[in-house]
């Protein structure tokens, strides 16, 4: 109400001032015209009476007539000038009334500035006019309105105070008029987008507020050299004075209205986020509210597919699905995403322009834009981040060129932060529900606690697994290669705060690494064996690998070995993998799980470096495993084996492996040397050394089986199986 009354008073006052000025000029002109007509009438009377007095005063009247004619000619010239002045005054009066009418008719800043540009172009007859407004946050002049051919640059061109003619006027608050060769002026700053090489003459005046504060500048360009008159400067200066208060009031009005709208909308936004809607419904409502809050034409919300590292459109307002648009998933550049996260917001435009304030380059951000080559001219985006997790991107589009300010960035970032929390909570709920479903399914299937097979098959189908197809149970344990050293470092740090902190950080890092590696393994397994399902419990993955494309599991072992090697080289983790036998019926899965568990456990004890162990490859170790766990008594054969192993450690030899291979080859020297890739004489020398270390006769065949079993039991025990069993 205050703004409307204030604007009404300004309108009445300015109209009165302009009309008084106009009436004064008209009255003055009328007086001149009266004089002109009086003299003209007198001249006619002289002509009528000239014949009467011709004979009396011929010489005198002739002189007076010439004088009168000169005066009439002079008054006619003055009359013409006054008529021109009257016409100019009328035009100026009309234009000023337009300015006043525009100021009084609306408080929308963009409309005021657009009308003002049009009025200035008509009044000055210039080729282009530009209005820059001073942005206090940036301490720069930002192009706010201009002629039609440059409208696409609104909000994109920025000048620092003192930069270019406009910047110099903004700094000094003094007008500048350049009649020709404007680019030769030392204060000139070339802006390619404005095509300033076409213009010769420039006039720039400041827009100054009540407190002598800078509001903006008005600048006019002409193509040919042009002499801006004092009347031109006076008109533009008067116009700038008129609009100064209007701009301040419009900005105040916009800020007030915007804050009121934001408060109302944010209240609705909070209710929507906490309403417990399903994720898709919540996202659609969020997009609709964002359009209202940000006053944009379109809002698009994309969520991250964490497994594949892609952004996909999940919601939009208005609904873009009605327009038959095909949105392709966007591959995310990790570097771009990290830089976007650092700024926490970014604005960019369809047309590459100078004056960008974001730290992320335009081409990089354009790759995250799902709506390329559309009619939208301005875009403001903010990442959806919860903690350290990238959840997606929210983007606001405007069909008209728009000036995004710091408040817009802050507001969208606030919306994005609240939305990210809601999305994360929804994901956690879904993950918990999904994990519970998967966990319950695996427990019922692998431990045989289900009620009916049909019900179990339906649950499997819901999870994307067809139990009618052949599957294989595989257990994968993930461990860091440097895990042992980390544990030792952690034990050394016990008792100190620093050591506890280091252990905590190491544990958090390890859990995060296990989760990340588990996701990679899951993705690769499902890509190579479609229809597979995996369940993760801490650092162990239980997988049901579908063998529909590999019924004989011919390439499975190679694939698992390649996977283990890749994880080791790419991510510095060790995989220990146990594989059971194929399962056809539901009752087979309990057996398959037991086989995979035993293969995993025995494989870890036989090979500390990890690797793939198939249940069928365990051989005699499977029968010796329980003996090695339960019986730690030592006999003569164990003593002989221990003596050889100690010698190997001291001397760096391989006598124990040589003896084991010799016994497996039933004492055949040729077979043994071939398997060991050594010369026959070298093998004989090793056997002689072995015999010197042993009290029993190695040539006696009756000792071979017992000695062979003793070697395998020793290997099981030496790899820490007893210690693990005790734990």
Q: Average per-residue pLDDT in the chain?
A: 76
Share of the chain above pLDDT 70, in %: 71
Top-confidence residue, 335 or 564: 564
How many Å is the Cα radius of gyration of the chain?
Answer: 45
β-partners of residue 300 are: 316, 395
What Cα–Cα distance (Å) separates residue 30 from each residue in 24, 83, 243? 10, 10, 33
Residue 88's pLDDT band (boundaries 50, 70, 90)?
Answer: low
- CATH number 3.40.50.10490 given to 109-254: no
* Residue 488 confidence (pLDDT) above 60: no
* Residue 484 confidence (pLDDT) above 50: no
Q: What is the pLDDT of residue 168?
A: 92
β-partners of residue 331 are: 310
Pairing between strand 540-546 and 471-480?
A: antiparallel
Asked whether 124 and 203 are in contact (CB, 8 A), the reply is: yes
* Residue 19 confidence (pLDDT) above 60: no
Top-confidence residue, 343 or 291: 291
Segment among 261-275, 481-495, 599-613 with least mean pLDDT? 481-495
In sequence order, what DSSP letters do the residues of 458-478 get, joined into one string? HHHHHTT--TTS-EEEEEEEE
Top-confidence residue, 254 or 417: 417
pLDDT tens per residue, range 450-476: 777 888 888 888 888 898 899 999 999
Q: What is the pLDDT of residue 423?
A: 84
What Cα–Cα distance (Å) separates residue 560 from each residue in 88, 599, 614? 90, 14, 11
CB atoms within 10 A of CB 529: 21
Q: What is the pLDDT of residue 102?
A: 66
The two tokens of residue 468 are 């009618």
Helix (H) or strand (E) holding 107: none
Asked whether 716 and 605 are in contact (CB, 8 A), the reply is: yes
CB atoms within 10 A of CB 530: 11
* Residue 350 confidence (pLDDT) above 50: no
Q: What is the pLDDT of residue 334?
A: 67
Q: What is the pLDDT of residue 659?
A: 93
Top-confidence residue, 30 or 213: 213
* Residue 490 confidence (pLDDT) above 60: no
Domain 274-429 identical in fold to domain 463-611: no
Closest by alpha carbon to 168, among 149, 188, 151, 148?
Answer: 188
Residue range 682-698: mean pLDDT, rounded: 91
Longest CA span, the chain: 178
Residue range 365-371: mean pLDDT, rounded: 71
* Residue 245 confidence (pLDDT) above 80: no
**Cα angle 345, 349, 351; round to 5:** 155
CATH architecture group of domain 274-429: 2-Layer Sandwich (3.30)
Q: How far apart are CA 302 and CA 281, in angstroms?
A: 14
The two tokens of residue 715 are 């290997």
Residue 227's pLDDT band (boundaries 50, 70, 90)?
Answer: confident
Q: What is the pLDDT of residue 489?
A: 41
Closest by alpha carbon to 395, among 449, 316, 325?
Answer: 316
Residue range 543-555: mean pLDDT, rounded: 86
Helix (H) or strand (E) holding 430: helix 406-447
| Domains of the chain, residue spans | 2-105, 109-254, 274-429, 463-611, 626-726
Q: What b/e sequence results for 557-567 when a residue is b if at least 16 CB atoms lie within 10 Å of its CB, and e otherwise?
A: eebbeebbeeb
Residue 6's pLDDT band (boundaries 50, 70, 90)?
Answer: very low
Per-residue three-class SS string for 300-326: EEEEEECCCCEEEEEEEECCHHHHCCC
Residue range 603-621: mean pLDDT, rounded: 80
Top-confidence residue, 129 or 109: 129
* Residue 500 confidence (pLDDT) above 50: no
Q: What is the pLDDT of residue 348?
A: 47
Top-confidence residue, 231 or 477: 477
Segment among 14-18, 358-362, 548-552 with least mean pLDDT? 358-362
Half-sphere exposure of 518 (CA within 13 A, CB side): 22
Residue range 434-444: mean pLDDT, rounded: 79
Residue range 227-242: mean pLDDT, rounded: 77
Say which DSSP state 328 is in. Answer: P
Segment among 347-361, 365-379, 451-465 with least mean pLDDT? 347-361
Q: What is the pLDDT of residue 494?
A: 37
Segment among 56-65, 219-228, 402-411, 658-667 with least mean pLDDT? 56-65
Q: How far apart are CA 665 and CA 704, in angstroms?
A: 11
Q: What is the pLDDT of residue 39?
A: 46
Contacts of 572 (CB under 8 A, 6+ apart): 480, 481, 482
Judge residue 548's burial from the number of C-beta atoms within 10 Å of its C-beta, 0-12 exposed, 13-18 middle, 19 or more buried: middle
Asked whether 436 and 510 are in contact (CB, 8 A), the reply is: no
| Candidate ranges 100-109, 247-256, 536-545; pick with highest mean pLDDT | 536-545
Residue 726's pLDDT band (boundaries 50, 70, 90)?
Answer: very low
Q: How far apart are CA 298 and CA 380, in angstroms?
A: 11
* Residue 678 confidence (pLDDT) above 50: yes
Segment among 334-343, 464-473, 480-489, 517-526 with least mean pLDDT? 480-489
Q: What is the pLDDT of residue 688?
A: 92
Helix (H) or strand (E) holding 613: strand 611-614
Residue 497's pLDDT band (boundaries 50, 70, 90)?
Answer: very low
Q: What is the pLDDT of residue 50?
A: 45
103-106 long-range contacts (CB < 8 A, ≥24 apart) are 103/7, 103/10, 103/11, 103/242, 103/243, 103/246, 104/7, 104/8, 104/10, 104/11
Hey, CA dihedral for 345, 347, 353, 354, is it positive or negative?
negative
| Candidate ranges 36-45, 275-284, 480-489, 555-564; pick with highest mean pLDDT | 555-564
* Coil vs helix vs strand at 154: coil
pTM exceeds 0.85, yes or no: no
Share of the chain above pLDDT 90, in %: 12
Residue range 526-548: mean pLDDT, rounded: 88
CATH architecture group of domain 463-611: 2-Layer Sandwich (3.30)
- Could you list the beta-strand ranges (E) of 169-309: 176-178, 201-208, 214-222, 298-305
Residue 710's pLDDT band (boundaries 50, 70, 90)?
Answer: confident
Q: How far apart are CA 383 and CA 417, in angstroms?
A: 8
């Amino acid at each position: 109400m205050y703004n409307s009354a204030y604007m009404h008073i300004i309108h009445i006052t300015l109209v009165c001032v302009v009309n008084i000025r106009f009436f004064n000029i008209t009255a003055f002109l009328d007086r001149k015209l009266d004089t002109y007509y009086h003299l003209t009438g007198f001249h006619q009377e002289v002509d009528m009476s000239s014949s009467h007095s011709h004979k009396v005063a011929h010489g005198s009247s002739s002189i007076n007539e010439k004088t009168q004619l000169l005066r009439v000619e002079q008054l006619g010239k003055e009359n013409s000038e006054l008529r021109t002045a009257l016409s100019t005054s009328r035009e100026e009066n009309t234009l000023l009334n337009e300015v006043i009418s525009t100021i009084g008719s609306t408080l929308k800043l963009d409309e005021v500035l657009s009308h003002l540009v049009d009025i200035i172009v008509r009044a000055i007859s210039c080729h282009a006019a530009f209005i820059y407004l001073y942005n206090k946050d940036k301490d720069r002049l930002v192009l706010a309105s201009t002629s039609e051919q440059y409208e696409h640059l609104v909000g994109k061109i920025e000048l620092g105070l003192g930069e270019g003619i406009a910047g110099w006027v903004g700094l000094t608050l003094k007008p500048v008029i350049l009649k020709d060769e404007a680019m030769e002026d030392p204060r000139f700053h070339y802006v390619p987008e404005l095509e300033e090489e076409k213009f010769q003459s420039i006039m720039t005046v400041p827009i100054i507020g009540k407190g002598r504060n800078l509001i903006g500048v008005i600048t006019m360009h002409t193509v040919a050299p042009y002499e801006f008159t004092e009347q031109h400067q006076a008109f533009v200066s008067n116009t700038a004075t008129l609009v100064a208060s209007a701009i301040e009031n419009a900005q105040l009005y916009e800020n007030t209205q915007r804050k009121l709208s934001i408060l109302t909308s944010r209240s609705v936004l909070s209710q929507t986020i906490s309403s417990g809607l399903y994720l898709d419904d919540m996202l659609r409502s969020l997009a609709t509210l964002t359009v209202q809050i940000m006053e944009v034409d379109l809002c698009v919300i994309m969520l991250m597919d964490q497994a594949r590292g892609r952004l996909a459109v999940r919601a939009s307002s208005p609904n873009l699905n009605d327009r038959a648009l095909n949105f392709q998933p966007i591959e995310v550049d990790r570097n771009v995403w990290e830089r976007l996260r650092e700024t926490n917001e970014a604005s960019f435009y369809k047309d590459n322009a100078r004056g960008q304030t974001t730290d992320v380059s335009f081409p990089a951000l354009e790759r995250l834009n799902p709506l390329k080559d559309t009619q939208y001219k301005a875009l403001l985006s903010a990442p959806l981040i919860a903690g350290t997790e990238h959840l997606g991107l929210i983007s606001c589009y405007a069909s008209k060129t728009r000036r995004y300010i710091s408040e817009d960035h802050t507001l969208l970032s606030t919306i994005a932060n609240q939305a990210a929390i809601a999305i994360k909570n929804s994901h956690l709920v879904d993950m918990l529900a999904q994990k519970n479903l998967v966990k319950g399914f695996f427990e019922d299937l692998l431990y045989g606690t289900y009620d009916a097979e049909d019900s179990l098959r339906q649950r499997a189908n819901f999870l994307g697994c067809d139990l009618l197809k052949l599957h294989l149970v595989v257990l994968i344990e993930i461990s860091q290669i440097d895990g042992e050293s980390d544990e030792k470092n952690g034990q050394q740090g016990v008792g100190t705060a620093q050591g506890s902190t280091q252990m905590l950080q190491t544990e958090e890092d390890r859990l995060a690494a296990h989760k990340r590696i588990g996701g990679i393994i899951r993705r690769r397994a499902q890509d190579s064996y479609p229809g597979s399902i995996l369940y993760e419990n801490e650092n162990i993955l239980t997988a049901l690998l579908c063998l529909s494309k590999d019924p004989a599991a011919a390439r499975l072992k190679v694939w698992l070995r390649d996977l283990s090697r890749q994880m080791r080289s790419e991510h510095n983790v060790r995989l220990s993998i146990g594989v059971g036998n194929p399962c056809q019926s539901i009752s087979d899965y309990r057996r398959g799980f037991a086989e995979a568990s035993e293969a995993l456990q025995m494989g870890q004890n036989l090979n500390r470096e990890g690797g793939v162990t198939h249940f069928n490859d365990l051989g005699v170790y499977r029968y010796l495993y329980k003996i090695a766990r339960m019986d730690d008594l030592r006999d003569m054969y164990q003593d002989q084996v221990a003596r050889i192993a100690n010698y190997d450690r001291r001397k760096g030899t391989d006598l124990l492996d040589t003896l084991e291979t010799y016994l497996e080859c039933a004492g055949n020297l040729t077979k043994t040397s071939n398997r060991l890739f050594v010369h026959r004489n070298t093998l004989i020398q090793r056997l002689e050394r072995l015999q010197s270390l042993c009290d029993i006769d190695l040539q006696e065949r009756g000792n071979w089986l017992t000695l062979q079993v003793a070697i395998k039991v020793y290997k099981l025990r030496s790899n820490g199986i007893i210690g693990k069993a005790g734990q």
